[in-house]
Amino acid sequence: NIPVREILKRRGFENIYVVKEQEFPDPDFTTVGYPNPEFPKLLQKE
């Protein structure tokens, strides 16, 4: 998200890294098998 990165840069944040697979909104959550943050294993990148 370019606007967010620009705002963070202006506010002094450095070393911002974007997860390529999550750079743009995906309403289908194709990077996870089941989109529920209550399951910590789902937050780990394989």
Question: Using one digit for the tens of pLDDT, what is the confidence trace for 3-43?
Answer: 988 999 999 999 988 888 888 888 888 887 777 878 887 77
* Contact by Cβ (8 Å): 29, 37: no
pLDDT at 19: 85
Residue range(s) defining the domain that contains residue 18: 2-43
Which pTM does this prediction carry? Answer: 0.49
The answer on pLDDT for 46 being more than 70 is no
Residue 2: Cβ-neighbour burial (10 angstroms; 0-12, 13-18, 19+): exposed
Q: Give me the number of domains the chain comprises.
A: 1
> In 3-state terms, what secondary structure has residue 14?
coil
Task: Give the torsion sign (CA, 31, 21, 38, 40).
Answer: positive
pLDDT at 13: 96
